[in-house]
Amino acid sequence: QVQLVESGGGLVQAGGSLRLSCAASGITFSSYAMGWFRQAPGKEREFVAALTRSGGTRNYADSVKGRFTISRDNAKNTVYLQMNSLKPEDTAVYYCAARYAAGLNGLKYAAREYAYWGQGTQVTVSS
């Protein structure tokens, strides 16, 4: 079965950093573009970052650009989200997601495009 397991969340002060990890199993990892999304209580799930199968192309939501970095290690079946200069408005549950992309170009930013999802990891940023 397909599993995506996030880790690395926690409570940090504004201005701090966290690195989230998402370990995938049950898929041919290199065939999947990967993304990070987040959801705050009472809010819609929103796109944060995504990258292509090889990691050669990355894209970010405007709200995190310049502060967050998405990367992947295909040998470890893992995608990362390095989060720096965290703000209270970054507080949310962060989810990783996988989109089958073999033979396809470009990235997708809508949650509905991603077939597989992790359970999420809580990130709380205090002021």
Where do we find the tokens 């962060």? 94
pLDDT in the model for residue 75: 96
* CB 83, CB 125: distance < 8 Å: no
pLDDT in the model for residue 60: 97
Alpha carbon dihedral 13, 58, 79, 56, in 10-degree steps, equals -140
Alpha carbon dihedral 41, 45, 46, 51, in 10-degree steps, equals 130
User: Which DSSP symbol is given to 77?
Assistant: T
Q: Which of 4, 2, 66 is nearest to 35 (CA)?
A: 4
Radius of gyration over alpha carbons of the chain, in Å?
14
Residues of the chain with confidence (pLDDT) below 50: none
Residues 62-86 have pLDDT tens digits of 999 999 999 999 999 999 999 999 9
User: Which DSSP symbol is given to 32?
Assistant: E
